[in-house]
Amino acid sequence: MATNPLQFIQQTRAEIAKVVWPTRREVAMTSAMVFLLSILTAAFFFLIDWLIRQGLQGILTVFG
C-alpha cells in the first residue's frame, strides 16, 4: 500500500523527532577513544611486525 507524500513527510518528521543526538562531551569522548585505540592498534601491529622481521632476519643469518 502506497503512502501519499504528505503522510510520508509527516512520518519522516515524527521519526526524526525521536532521534537523540549525542552531546558535545559524548562526541569528544568517543572521538578520543577512537583516536587512542587507533594508536594502540598501530603500536601493536608495529611491534608484531618488528618481532617477525627480527625472527626472520635471525633465521636467515643462521641458515643463510
Taking the whole predicted model, whether its pTM rises above 0.85 is answered as no
Q: How far apart are CA 51 and CA 45, in angstroms?
A: 10
Tens digit of each residue's pLDDT (9 = 90 or more) over 5-61: 999 999 999 999 999 999 999 999 999 999 999 999 999 999 999 999 999 999 999
Closest CA to 17 of 28, 9, 25: 9
Pair 11, 3: CB distance under 8 Å: yes
Determine the pLDDT at residue 12: 93
